[in-house]
Structure 1
């Protein structure tokens, strides 16, 4: 969500709880700085690994630096706000964390270059993330006791680049070697298993084209989440199989930045119906497992459009 202040965070929580009573979530406001952005927030969750912020970005270190400590403090402060404002809430709730491959592609080793470049380092980071997610979800369960279904969205915007050897090296002149499918799947499976063992559901989200959705679907996830515009024919098959197998799919159809013209809920509803028709799926049969979302995060939107996008998503879902 957009916003640069703690007051803005509380307002985002109120918006989410008010407009999305069936599926609210723990908001993120990356506009508050790197400690509140996706990588910083994930490094606040990882267990047993220290990090600090360097000129080139986040780097693993021997001891936690001031920026990692700030990230953890800010996360705890945000969860305090969610806990206070969600008192009495009963139902489903969602949180999110950067996935193991996005972290490996954005965090550096102690001596430089991405964690992605080292087999042992990326394994250690994925396992630390899995353990941290387990602890994080237990903390959320203690804070919001009325939630009977926790969804953990594992954000993997860099998964496509990792699988296609498109992540640049530190020099910028080369690319890191592609990671083989078995390892890609294994690291995802560790995080998914940690979520499941903690009593939650793991959904993987990416709005990047060429994400290997069939591989993701085979990693034991309970749901897939993507921008409908970037799904190719093979991707559509993966989403259809997930829905038919009783799992969930979240479709990004509402623009994530201020559009011109403003799309109507009827037009967006019709678009999802056409997608379901193309796959031969009955909206009544899969409706309880289908989620309507913005195309990607709303951090780049104006506050007015962010609130409108949230309402529009809920309206399209009700229409369906």
Structure 2
């Protein structure tokens, strides 16, 4: 197997969200602790429009949203909520250009994937977009166009970087299982068939990442990650919470490794806690690799160490410590395999 990855062997990165409301401070932390694969932090503490759904909804083309007490809902025209989302992102990108314009390695950005958006945003009459196949198709097309423009903007601001695009799909297992609640919460929406889910996700990835514009990663921090579906949709790497990968997933994970698909493994707790030792942090990664019988030398090339999920609920001090632990664990894994 010969597979190239945008990252160097022994690399760590973050997932997306961070505490606080200062994008410059957050980005300096990321650049300092994760220099080999930094990413654009998301700061949901700033309020509506900085959250995962609202931030990505601001990228949608000709599908404005507004905020209701029940959550995000499609609107007839752009209002202050859509504008707030775009303003937050514009400020983040200005800070990115100011602090990282000379970055010449891989750089990761994150957006919400089409199925999690469809499970979260409501139609004008109140049902979730997931209920309407036509609305899902329109949403996926709008998302693909908007994210492609976003990637092009980031590439313009970071001309020497290779863009890694992470699509966040935490709701995808629930979409497939038919456990997404209706807007009222009294019922569940129908399950989406895997071929349909795969095709929709692929339309977004193919549009945004055409001609090498970005390297596609899909992040899913839930249980029952559909590894084969994500690979079939075009994900070249899959990001998961290692603690939620069970032995029943061994065949799916093994097939993923065998195809050369990258793995971003969440090995460090995302919320404030007493961090385990460096050796204890790296051991679950090594144990998974040994259990599946793959050569140790491939581990550091194919695996990126990350926190378990976003870290918006953590303290700034813990974030720095956790990112440093990810970085040191990745280097330990590399050195052990050398």
TM-score category of the 2 structures, normalised to the smaller one: over 0.9
Please say if residues 3 and 9 of structure 1, whose CA atoms lie closer than 8 Å, have aligned partners that are also in contact. no
**Which SS does the other structure have where 1:172 is aligned?**
coil
RMSD (CA atoms): 1.3
Report the equivalent of 2:11. none
Distance 1:46 1:239 in 2: 33
CA deviation after TM superposition for structure 1 residue 2, in Å: 3.4
Distance 1:160 1:281 in 2: 27
Report the equivalent of 1:163. 176
1:35-184 aligned within 5 A: 35-147=49-161, 149-184=162-197
1:156-305 aligned within 5 A: 156-197=169-210, 199-259=213-273, 261-305=274-318
Q: Cα deviations across residues 185-229 of structure 1 (Å, max 9, x unaligned)?
A: 111101111232161111110111123222112211111010111
Q: 1:115 to 1:31 in 2, by over 3 A?
A: same
Please say if residues 66 and 79 of structure 2, whose CA atoms lie closer than 8 Å, have aligned partners that are also in contact. yes
Q: 1:156 to 1:103 in 2, by over 3 A?
A: same
Distance 1:191 1:287 in 2: 29
How many residues matched? Answer: 316
Distance 2:144 2:249 in 1: 26
Distance 2:300 2:294 in 1: 10
Distance 1:89 1:170 in 2: 43
Distance 2:315 2:145 in 1: 36
Q: 1:255 to 1:298 in 2, by over 3 A?
A: same
CA deviation after TM superposition for structure 1 residue 234, in Å: 4.7
**Which consecutive unaligned segments of at least 5 residues does structure 1 have?**
none
**Which consecutive unaligned segments of at least 5 residues does structure 2 have?**
1-16, 334-338
Higher normalized contact order (CA 8 Å, seq sep 6+, divided by chain length) = 2
Please tell me whether residue 4 in structure 1 is matched to residue 4 in structure 2.
Answer: no
Greater CA drift, 299-308 or 43-52? 43-52
Q: 1:192 to 1:236 in 2, by over 3 A?
A: farther
